[in-house]
A = this chain, B = another copy of it.
Amino acid sequence: MQGGRRVSLLLGNIVDALGGSLEGGLRDTEVVRIAPLESAGPGDISFLSHPRYQQQLAASRAACVIVAPAMREPALARGACIVTDNPYAYFARVTQLWRQQEGRAPVLGVHPSAVVDEGAVVHPSASVGPLCVVERGAHIGAGTVLKSRVTVGADCHVGARCILHAGVVIGADGFGFAPQAGEWIKIEQLGAVRIGDDVEIGANTCIDRGALQDTVIEDGVKLDNLVQIGHNVRIGKHSAMAGCVGVAGSATIGAHCTVGGGAIVLGHLELADNVHISAATVVTRSLTKPGQYTGMFPIDDNVRWEKNAATLKQLHSLRERIKALEQALKAA
A-side residues, CB < 8 A to B, are 1-4, 33-36, 39, 86, 88-89, 91-93, 95-96, 98-99, 104, 111, 113, 115, 119, 129-131, 133, 135-137, 147-149, 151, 153-155, 163, 165-167, 169, 172-173, 175-180, 182-192, 194, 198, 200, 202-204, 206, 208, 211-214, 220, 222, 224-226, 228, 230, 238, 240, 242-244, 246, 248, 256, 261-262, 264, 266, 278-285, 291-302, 304-316, 318-319, 321-322, 325-326, 328-329, 332
The quantity of this chain's copies bound in the complex is: 3
Partner of A35 from B34, B212, B300 at Cβ < 8 Å? B212
Instruction: Name the residue among A137, A212, A281 with the largest chain B CB count within 10 angstroms.
Output: A212
Known: A1-B213, A113-B115, A278-B302. 7 other contacts (CB 8 A): A35-B212, A92-B186, A151-B203, A183-B238, A203-B208, A206-B226, A311-B316
Q: Closest approach, in angstroms, between the C-beta of A257 and any C-beta of chain B? A: 12
Residue of B nearest to A211 (CB): B95
Partner of A203 from B149, B172, B325, B328 at Cβ < 8 Å? B172
Residues of B within 8 A of A266 (CB): 261, 279
Residue of B nearest to A278 (CB): B302
Assuming A169-B167, A186-B92, A279-B264, is B308 touching A299 (CB within 8 A)? no
Q: How far is the CA of A278 from the CA of B182 in the complex (A)?
A: 19
Q: How far is the CA of A281 from the CA of B190 in the complex (A)?
A: 31
Q: Closest approach, in angstroms, between the C-beta of A108 and any C-beta of chain B? A: 17
